[in-house]
Copies of this chain bind each other. A is one copy, B any other.
């Protein structure tokens, strides 16, 4: 990743899960990193996430919807990782305007700032598998219709398409990766509202009983955060991906029940129980889902490298060690 050495990089949402892991890798690669983060209490920002690089990054506490601020930050920047956003499907149904603000106005503001100040900057957007909704067939491919089942999915779909439009209309080199079930160190695990994985990990470490909704037979495939960071860094320097969108598929799909069993084995603690969906979650449940990353692999050669065993072991070890900062 020598292409990032000495380059100016902006990461929105850089105190959060994926943003902070990305920031650490970019600092290691010799980039000059600025983080913009709103520290919204409903999001995953955590200063401890960047503890190891605290002296080597600029952190700007501010909102990606603040056009004047973002305009200043994008000037002279070569790479922008447009990651700030809200990830809770459930909360998006309760607070749809907050989700809209963060996932629609925020990314659009970043693009608009670049349109005015810096059309050369590569913009890498964190899209989501959620935009597909319930899959028509598996694995999900990019040729399938986007049929989001919750407000978060709608807003993230719009956030992605602004990037495609700004590429086509203004020639700006933007790209979207559709993430799915990313896990690893630095994820918010305090509560279940940002996805089940972090929550399950916390409960396993505590020796608590994990509740698996449905019948536990829903299939998922998981991406270790280092693999996702790799994909983002590759998307930043590979010209073949510009103006397009790509699934990031994970490893072998497995049932939620098998995932939990593996997690409990690795944690050496905890138990689980299969319980019916609460009604308000059932209505936005998407069943079995996993993605094909063949399109991204064909364009870039990327494939996930960290197996679920190894990734989960690293993750459990991280939270055991740094528990005080995440509980």
Contacts and interface: CB of A to CB of B under 8 A. Distances in A.
B104 A158 contact: yes
A68 interface: no
Interface stretch (A36-44, A92-100, A213-221, A225-233): A92-100
A145 to B, nearest CB: 6
Nearest to A284: B169
A264 interface: no
Interface centre among A108, A149, A284 (most CB of B within 10 A): A108
Interface string A146-182: 1111110111011001101100111000000000000
Interface centre among A100, A147, A158 (most CB of B within 10 A): A158
Interface residues of A, number: 30
Given A108-B100, A145-B143, A150 B162 contact: no
Given A96-B108, A146-B146, A148-B165, 16 more contacts: A93-B169, A97-B105, A97-B108, A100-B108, A104-B104, A108-B151, A148-B161, A149-B165, A149-B168, A149-B169, A151-B162, A153-B161, A158-B158, A168-B284, A169-B284, A170-B283
A112 interface: yes
Q: How many chain copies does the complex carry?
A: 2
Contacts of A143: 145
A155 B158 CA distance: 7
Contact of A283 (B148, B161, B168): B168
Contacts of A104: 100, 104, 158
Contact of A161 (B93, B154, B162): B154
Contacts of A284: 168-169
19 contacts: A96-B108, A97-B105, A97-B112, A100-B104, A100-B105, A104-B104, A108-B151, A143-B145, A145-B146, A146-B146, A148-B161, A148-B164, A149-B168, A149-B169, A150-B165, A150-B169, A153-B161, A154-B161, A168-B283
Smallest CB-CB A-B distances: 10 pairs: A158-B158, A154-B161, A169-B283, A154-B158, A169-B284, A148-B161, A154-B162, A96-B108, A149-B168, A150-B165
A169 B151 CA distance: 10
Interface string A253-270: 000000000000000000
A44 to B, nearest CB: 24
Contacts of A147: 161, 164
Nearest to A148: B161
A158 B104 CA distance: 10
Nearest to A160: B154
A236 to B, nearest CB: 23
Contacts of A168: 149, 283-284
A157 B155 CA distance: 10
